[in-house]
């Protein structure tokens, strides 16, 4: 490795992407448009969690959390590290998962693509100069490390592999290895996976569940009277759109932790769907697409730089990643000492079974 870029400014990563990553371009809004290669979405069937004694009883094993032997993880890790060591240039990003200092997890990303580095600089909580000491070798707490060698495939003959793509996590080693997919969303979800494991055990495992932290796949905002709203929903159900309310402060659009004192955002940015995006429908998100934002797999006019958000010829899963500060009414730091007053469950009911709006009782919500 001849060149190492550490927490580089957006302009430097733009330059690197434009020089060395095919399909990268600056569009008319100033955002960086990139291509993620063959994979334009996550690969959940290729995700594995190492079966380790310390965490064995804390993981719900099955079709979602698939076991992987430690030896196979180490094989993938060695393959990823060997590939990264052959690159002329690497990009390193240090940031946090979580805005609350009492709960946050330090995260280090090592990748061969500038696009991935800029993406994670947008999506992790940015450290201050003083906080960078938490990533030193002498720090008390080891950061969770993501080895992103997604440009290079895994060995399909490695036990536990079902394709040339592998996303594997070891809680004991505090590491994640990515092979065979360049889709940046795998890193974002990798951090969420770690938070889903760690937060329910904090601040102490011995405490009753109600006094421990609860990770949420949900967006959140807060009104003038400190009334927090939580919007639960799967991808594409409206979490990002509904939380970006000009009359309320945005806490976050996708991942949060609800603990005994309030709510905090896990992420430092937003990862919004772009299909059909217009300023009229979603002005806050549309205007966040500017210099420093990353547009994934969108179609644009090479002569004008104009983006066609209706064109889904590459994928319907077109995305933009931007830092929270690009939303004018974002609450920064993204944490509040207030408990949610409104809990909204969003569904995509293709069959019309559910009424458009239902007010549920506590028992119905639990069911």
Q: Is 204 tagged catalytic?
A: no
Q: Which of 35, 87, 212, 217 is catalytic?
A: 217
Q: Which of 256, 319, 331, 335 is catalytic?
A: 319
Q: Is 319 tagged catalytic?
A: yes
Least confident of 86-95, 201-210, 232-241, 243-252: 232-241
Q: Which of 39, 42, 256, 335 is catalytic?
A: 42
What sign results for the dihedral spanned by CA atoms 89, 317, 22, 155?
A: positive
- The encoded tokens of residue 186 equal 């795998």
What is d(CA 114, CA 3) in angstroms, rounded to the nearest whole number? 12
Q: Which of 164, 235, 237, 315 is catalytic?
A: 235
User: Which pLDDT score, from 0 to 100, does residue 109 have?
Assistant: 98
Q: Is 247 tagged catalytic?
A: no
Q: Which of 39, 189, 248, 256 is catalytic?
A: 189
User: Which pLDDT score, from 0 to 100, does residue 327 have?
Assistant: 96
Model pLDDT for residues 4-16, shown as the tens digit of each residue? 999 999 999 999 9
Supply the angle between the helices 114-123 and 185-198 in degrees, to the nearest 10: 40
Q: Is 42 tagged catalytic?
A: yes
Question: Hey, how many other C-beta atoms are within 10 angstroms of the C-beta on 195?
Answer: 26
- The encoded tokens of residue 118 equal 């800029």
How distant, in Å, are the alpha carbons of 23, 146, 168, 177 from that of 187?
A: 21, 7, 11, 10
At 285, phi and psi to the nearest 5? Answer: -70, -45
What is d(CA 263, CA 230) in angstroms, rounded to the nearest whole number? 10
Least confident of 104-118, 321-335, 338-352: 338-352
Q: Is 239 tagged catalytic?
A: yes
Q: Full-prediction pTM beyond 0.85? A: yes
* pLDDT of residue 312 exceeding 90: yes
SS3 112: coil
User: Which pLDDT score, from 0 to 100, does residue 217 have?
Assistant: 97
Mean pLDDT within 241-264: 96
Model pLDDT for residues 109-156, shown as the tens digit of each residue? 999 999 999 999 999 999 999 999 999 988 989 999 999 999 999 999
Mean pLDDT within 178-193: 98
pLDDT bin (cut points 50, 70, 90) of residue 236 is confident
Q: Which of 48, 188, 239, 256 is catalytic?
A: 239
Contact 327, 270 (CB under 8 A): yes
pLDDT bin (cut points 50, 70, 90) of residue 354 is confident
Percent of the chain with pLDDT over 90: 94
* pLDDT of residue 348 exceeding 90: no
* pLDDT of residue 342 exceeding 90: yes
Burial of 87 (0-12, 13-18, 19+ CB in 10 A): middle
Q: Which of 46, 248, 254, 259 is catalytic?
A: 254
Strand 214-222 and strand 228-232: the pairing is antiparallel
Mean pLDDT within 172-193: 98
* pLDDT of residue 350 exceeding 90: no
Mean pLDDT within 208-235: 96
How distant, in Å, are the alpha carbons of 71, 160, 264, 338, 362 from that of 245?
A: 48, 44, 18, 19, 26
User: Which pLDDT score, from 0 to 100, does residue 352 have?
Assistant: 86
- The encoded tokens of residue 323 equal 């830092």
Question: Hey, how many other C-beta atoms are within 10 angstroms of the C-beta on 193?
Answer: 19
Q: Is 189 tagged catalytic?
A: yes
Give me the DSSP letters along 49-106. EE--TTTTTTS-BTTTB-EE-HHHHHHHHHHHHHHHHT-SEEEEEEEEE-S-TTT-EE
Return mean pLDDT, the chain: 96
* pLDDT of residue 306 exceeding 90: yes
Model pLDDT for residues 35-69, shown as the tens digit of each residue? 999 999 999 999 999 999 999 999 999 999 999 99
Supply the angle between the helices 114-123 and 10-20 in degrees, to the nearest 10: 150
User: Which pLDDT score, from 0 to 100, does residue 349 have?
Assistant: 84
Residue 97 CA neighbour count, 13 Å, CB half = 27
Determine the distance from the C-alpha atom of residue 60 to the mean position of all C-alpha atoms in its chain, rounded to a whole number: 22
Provide the β-strand partners of residue 176. 146, 169
């Amino acid at each position: 490795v001849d060149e190492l870029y550490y927490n580089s400014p957006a302009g430097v990563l733009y330059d690197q992407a434009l020089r060395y990553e095919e399909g990268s371009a600056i569009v008319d809004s100033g955002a960086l448009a990139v291509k993620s290669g063959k994979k334009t979405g996550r690969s959940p069937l290729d995700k594995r969690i190492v079966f380790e004694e310390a965490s064995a009883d804390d993981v719900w094993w099955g079709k979602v959390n698939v076991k992987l032997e430690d030896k196979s993880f180490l094989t993938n890790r060695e393959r990823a590290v060997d590939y990264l060591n052959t690159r002329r240039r690497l990009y390193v990003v240090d940031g946090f998962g979580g805005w609350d200092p009492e709960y946050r997890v330090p995260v280090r990303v090592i990748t061969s693509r500038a696009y991935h580095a800029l993406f994670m600089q947008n999506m992790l909580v940015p450290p201050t100069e003083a906080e960078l000491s938490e990533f030193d070798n002498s720090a008390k707490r080891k950061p969770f490390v993501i080895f992103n060698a997604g440009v290079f495939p895994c060995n399909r003959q490695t036990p536990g592999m079902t394709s040339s793509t592998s996303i594997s996590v070891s809680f004991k080693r505090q590491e994640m290895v990515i092979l065979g997919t360049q889709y940046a969303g795998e890193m974002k979800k990798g951090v969420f996976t770690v938070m889903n494991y760690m937060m329910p055990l904090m601040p102490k495992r011995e405490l009753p569940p109600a006094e421990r932290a609860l990770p949420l796949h949900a967006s959140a905002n807060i009104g003038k009277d400190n009334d927090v709203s939580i919007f639960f929903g799967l991808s594409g159900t409206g979490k990002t759109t509904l939380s970006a309310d000009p009359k309320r402060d945005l806490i976050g659009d996708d991942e949060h932790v609800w603990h005994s004192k309030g709510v905090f955002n896990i992420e430092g940015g937003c990862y919004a769907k772009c299909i059909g995006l217009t300023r009229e429908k979603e002005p806050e998100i549309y205007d966040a697409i500017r210099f420093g934002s990353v547009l994934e797999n969108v179609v644009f006019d090479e002569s004008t730089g104009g983006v066609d958000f209706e064109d889904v010829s590459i994928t319907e899963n077109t995305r933009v990643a931007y830092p929270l500060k690009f939303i004018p009414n974002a609450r920064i730091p993204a944490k509040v000492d207030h408990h949610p007053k409104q809990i909204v469950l969003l569904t995509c009911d293709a069959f019309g079974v559910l009424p458009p709006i239902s007010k549920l009782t506590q028992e119905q919500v639990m069911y």
